[in-house]
């Protein structure tokens, strides 16, 4: 019995990580209808950025991420402004192709700069610290922080979206691009800002990925699919939905693994298919579009 | 090799081959007629080398540039082949860690660069496609750094058929160790530490994991015989973010030993998660994941006393037949040239070129058949130990194409902010000195 309870708890914590992977993707899709195939590689890029800041300045990764975030905001802003805005239009294909190319460029660029060595963010004793819950169940501090950070990121994103002027512009462009432009919104600027915010979310995801496992330039794409599934399960455009999607995915995987480790990945995909069959628009779709 | 796969290439190839043969015959007739055989003899001898310079396997090939520069330096003046001094050329191609790409560049080397001998290293994903390509094109090939079972059995037309259905190869030869060696090394190491003999197995769903966990050729039968109890929760998918199911199973079976063949990022995830959940085995012998010092360093201080198989180290009492340098000096030269810690593939990459030049020196002829026959007759003391095909330490079906090099076991020790591997068990190869006793993970 405690075995299943343990699977449930570990699954929810794992879901926090998936939700963090997915939050940035959800934001990009929600605001600019951009399907970003380079998302996994951008997470790895951010992890390397944190690593460089942490090792060059001798900082803890938790501090380094605060310093790396503004840099990544600027990179995201520039990327959207200079490159991705040119690809957005009625046709879905150009952004797909460009982000696919971007994924290859980021991977090989990182390989050239950092070699194939696997890296890790180091943060001392907290890495293996845990809180015992009794009955042989323990909760790792880092996984717990991951879930709490995911919740915090969603809270902040919701605040930006529903309580600030820039959030109103985000929602307006998302609802109707043309009318938003008629109302005097500079969509290029809004999209670039959204991408900058998404990059900060990516940096937080990268921090917890780097604390949990090794990363090297090639592991990005393996993370992309979970991010996509979490967004789709939760429903497009809903941040709380993305969190729920991540947790559904994480719990399905740990329960599957409990039955047999061969089932771990499959169980996640089955949960995803099940949601698509029962609620094709996801658990909490934001609007009818 | 499968016939149906190669049917079409084979046919077109016969045409090309026949053409080549005739042109070669014409050339030979001409040169005999003109009494000028020396012209043909001084054509540079070409070595093709395929290795994963980029991609997920790139860590294996990190030393290649250093080794090739060394080799070019040592053969600057050419190699004495027959009576003539012949210049040696090396053409290097990157497999990008992709088996399809490896086959493609191998074909390119054979057809466009017209190499005389193919060399290939680093994991079955690189060695197998290249060796297969060479066997089809009848170009001699020497490979290394892949356990011999996946190399030999993985290339059979009917891998499940067992030894009666397996065929030897005519042009492709391999030197490395096998699954039976790594099993012996691991169990020898475990016998040095007092445990309850309960073993947890981490075998992924890939070529290596399926072979290690195999109920016939893998760990299970040997562990059974040795009185160990194996808990194998099942094959998991590579690059997973969660090992709580395995940790739960190991905890409830009270495992004190952990083994497996795990990718480096997966092992970090597993080990951190295990420590978070209060699971700390006494011994952890892991293949693949902790071969490279950077992978162990990624664990911080938690990598202390993890154990792994050791194919080569600076303490191996061997020296190069090419340059005469000892294992220690080779590793030292690498460290001072690159400012990086030595890794195990250095010795094997060097040995590959040692064997190549030895073969070329002994070969009576440039013809592929003659070179292949010369490889088979090799008996050379290299920087990784003796390389000799046809030896008795292998099952008869594989002995023709496979030569075994010694394998021992070692533990990573953390000292002054850096990891070093200490050889802790040499019962499988007593010539290699041990540097210490096995210690339980504190």
Pick from A6, A132, A139: which is nearest to B248 by CB?
A6
> What value does the mean pLDDT take over residues B279-292?
92
> What value does the mean pLDDT take over residues B67-73?
94
pLDDT of residue B5: 41
Asked if the model's pLDDT at residue B249 lies above 50, the reply is yes
Q: Phi then psi for A176, rounded to 5 degrees?
A: -155, 105
Scanning every residue of chain B, which has its alpha carbon at the shortest distance from the alpha carbon of A113? B54
From the CA of B61, how many Å to the nearest CA of chain A? 10
Asked if B62's CB is within 8 angstroms of A118's CB, the reply is no
> What value does the mean pLDDT take over residues B253-280?
92
Chain A partners of B276 at a C-beta cutoff of 8 Å? Answer: 128-130, 138-143
Asked if the model's pLDDT at residue B271 lies above 80, the reply is yes
pLDDT of residue B17: 58
Write the CB contacts of A228 (distance below 8 Å, at least 6 apart in sequence). Answer: A22, A25
Q: Which long-range contacts (CB under 8 A, 24 or more apart) does B375-382 make?
A: B375/B140, B375/B142, B375/B173, B376/B173, B376/B400, B378/B403, B380/B321, B380/B354, B380/B355, B381/B318, B381/B319, B381/B321, B382/B318, B382/B320, B382/B321, B382/B350, B382/B351, B382/B354, B382/B355
Q: Report the alpha-carbon distance of residue A164 to residue A185 in Å, rounded.
A: 15
Whole-model pTM: value is: 0.82
Q: Which long-range contacts (CB under 8 A, 24 or more apart) does A150-154 make?
A: A150/A16, A150/A17, A150/A19, A150/A20, A150/A23, A150/A243, A150/A246, A151/A16, A151/A243, A153/A20, A153/A23, A153/A201, A153/A204, A154/A19, A154/A23, A154/A239, A154/A240, A154/A242, A154/A243
pLDDT of residue B23: 57
Asked if the model's pLDDT at residue A41 lies above 80, the reply is yes
pLDDT bracket for residue B442 (50, 70, 90):
confident
pLDDT of residue A229: 94
pLDDT bracket for residue B175 (50, 70, 90):
very high
Asked if the model's pLDDT at residue A287 lies above 70, the reply is no
Tens digit of pLDDT for each residue in A130-140?
898 887 788 99
> What value does the mean pLDDT take over residues B157-183?
91
Q: Which pair of tokens denotes residue A137?
A: 């169940």
Write the CB contacts of B352 (distance below 8 Å, at least 6 apart in sequence). Answer: B119, B121, B142, B144
pLDDT of residue B8: 42
Asked if the model's pLDDT at residue A92 lies above 90, the reply is no
Q: Which pair of tokens denotes residue A20?
A: 């963090």
Pick from A6, A116, A258: which is nearest to B56 by CB?
A116
Write the CB contacts of B394 (distance below 8 Å, at least 6 apart in sequence). Answer: B148, B178, B402, B404
Please provide the average confidence, as pLDDT, over all residues in chain B: 88
Q: Which pair of tokens denotes residue A144?
A: 């717990």
Please provide the average confidence, as pLDDT, over all residues in chain A: 91
pLDDT bracket for residue B35 (50, 70, 90):
very low
Tens digit of pLDDT for each residue in A218-270?
889 888 999 999 999 999 888 999 999 999 999 999 999 999 888 998 999 99
pLDDT of residue B21: 57
Asked if B57's CB is within 8 angstroms of A118's CB, the reply is no
Q: Is B111 on the interface with A (CB under 8 A)?
A: no
Asked if A140's CB is within 8 angstroms of B273's CB, the reply is yes
pLDDT of residue B434: 95
Tens digit of pLDDT for each residue in A165-191?
999 999 999 888 889 989 988 999 999
Q: Report the alpha-carbon distance of residue B118 to residue B121 in Å, rounded.
A: 10
> What value does the mean pLDDT take over residues B260-266?
88
Chain B partners of A108 at a C-beta cutoff of 8 Å? Answer: 54
Angle between helices B64-74 and B345-362 (to 10 degrees): 30
Largest pairwise CA distance in chain B? 82
pLDDT bracket for residue B22 (50, 70, 90):
low
Exposed / middle / buried, residue A262 (Cβ in 10 Å: 0-12, 13-18, 19+)? middle
Contact B333, B325 (CB under 8 A): yes
Chain B interface disruption, residue of A120, A125, A133, A258, most B CBs within 10 A: A120
The rounded radius of gyration (Å) of the Cα atoms in chain A is 19
Asked if the model's pLDDT at residue B34 lies above 50, the reply is no
pLDDT of residue B129: 96
Question: Which residues, listed in sequence order, are joined to residue B404 by a DSSP beta bridge?
Answer: B176
ipTM (interface pTM): 0.84
pLDDT bracket for residue B238 (50, 70, 90):
confident
Asked if the model's pLDDT at residue B384 lies above 90, the reply is yes
């Amino acid at each position: 019995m405690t075995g299943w309870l343990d699977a449930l708890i570990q699954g929810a914590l794992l879901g926090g990580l998936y939700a963090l992977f997915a939050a940035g993707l959800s934001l990009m899709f929600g605001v600019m209808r951009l399907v970003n195939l380079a998302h996994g590689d951008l997470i790895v890029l951010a992890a390397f950025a944190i690593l460089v800041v942490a090792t060059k300045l001798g900082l803890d990764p938790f501090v380094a991420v605060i310093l790396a975030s503004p840099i990544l905001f600027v990179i995201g802003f520039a990327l959207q402004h200079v490159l991705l805005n040119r690809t957005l239009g009625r046709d879905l294909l150009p952004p797909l192709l460009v982000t696919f190319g971007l994924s290859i460029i980021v991977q090989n660029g990182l390989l050239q700069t950092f070699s194939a060595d696997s890296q890790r963010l180091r943060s001392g004793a907290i890495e293996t610290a845990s809180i015992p819950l009794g009955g042989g169940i323990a909760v790792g501090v880092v996984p717990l922080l991951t879930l709490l950070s995911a919740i915090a990121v969603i809270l902040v994103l919701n605040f930006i979206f529903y309580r600030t002027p820039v959030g109103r512009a985000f929602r307006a462009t998302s609802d109707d691009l043309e009318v938003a432009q008629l109302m005097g919104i500079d969509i290029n600027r809004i999209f670039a800002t959204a991408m900058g915010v998404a990059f900060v979310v990516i940096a937080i995801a990268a921090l917890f990925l780097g604390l949990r496992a090794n990363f090297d330039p090639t592991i990005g794409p393996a993370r992309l699919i979970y991010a996509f599934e979490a967004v789709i399960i939760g429903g497009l455009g809903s941040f709380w939905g993305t969190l729920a999607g991540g947790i559904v995915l994480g719990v399905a995987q740990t329960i599957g693994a409990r039955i047999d480790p061969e089932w771990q990945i499959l169980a996640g995909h089955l949960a995803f298919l099940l949601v698509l069959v029962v609620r094709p628009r996801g658990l909490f779709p934001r609007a009818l579009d | 090799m499968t016939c149906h796969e190669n049917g079409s290439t084979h046919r077109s190839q016969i045409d090309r081959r026949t053409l080549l043969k005739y042109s070669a015959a014409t050339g030979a007739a001409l040169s005999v007629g003109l009494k000028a055989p020396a012209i043909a003899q001084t054509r540079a001898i070409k070595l093709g080398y395929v290795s994963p310079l980029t991609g997920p396997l790139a860590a294996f090939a990190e030393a290649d540039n250093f080794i090739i520069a060394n080799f070019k330096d040592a053969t600057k003046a050419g190699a004495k082949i027959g009576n003539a001094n012949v210049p040696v050329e090396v053409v290097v191609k990157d497999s990008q860690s992709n088996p399809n790409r490896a086959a493609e560049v191998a074909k390119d080397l054979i057809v466009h660069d017209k190499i005389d001998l193919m060399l290939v290293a680093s994991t079955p994903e690189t060695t197998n496609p290249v060796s297969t390509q060479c066997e089809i094109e009848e170009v001699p090939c020497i490979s290394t750094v892949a356990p011999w079972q996946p190399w030999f059995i993985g290339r059979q037309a009917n891998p499940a058929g067992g030894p009666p259905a397996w065929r030897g190869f005519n042009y492709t030869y391999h030197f490395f160790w096998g699954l039976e060696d790594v099993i012996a090394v691991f169990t020898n190491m475990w016998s040095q530490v007092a445990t309850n003999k309960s073993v947890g197995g981490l075998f992924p769903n890939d070529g290596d994991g399926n072979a290690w966990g195999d109920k016939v050729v893998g760990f299970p039968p040997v562990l059974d015989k040795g009185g160990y109890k194996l808990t194998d929760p099942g094959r998991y998918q590579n690059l997973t973010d969660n090992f709580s199911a395995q940790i739960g199973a190991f905890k409830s079976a009270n495992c004190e030993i952990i083994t497996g063949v795990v990718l480096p990022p997966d092992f970090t995830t597993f080990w951190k998660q295990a420590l978070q959940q209060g699971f700390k085995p006494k011994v952890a012998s892991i293949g693949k994941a902790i071969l490279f010092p950077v992978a162990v360093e990624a664990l911080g201080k938690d990598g202390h006393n993890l154990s792994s198989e050791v194919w080569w180290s600076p303490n191996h009492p061997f020296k190069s037949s090419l340059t005469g340098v000892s294992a220690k000096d080779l590793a030292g030269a690498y460290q001072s040239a690159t400012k990086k810690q030595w890794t195990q593939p250095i010795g094997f990459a060097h040995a590959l070129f040692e064997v190549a030049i030895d073969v070329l020196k002994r070969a009576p002829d440039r013809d592929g058949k003659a070179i292949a026959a010369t490889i088979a007759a090799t008996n050379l003391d290299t920087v990784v130990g003796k390389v000799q095909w046809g030896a008795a330490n292998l099952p008869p079906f594989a002995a023709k194409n496979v030569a075994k090099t010694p394998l021992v076991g070692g533990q990573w020790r953390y000292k002054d902010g850096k990891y070093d591997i200490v050889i802790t068990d040499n019962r499988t190869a007593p010539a290699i000195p041990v540097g210490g006793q096995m210690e339980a993970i504190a």
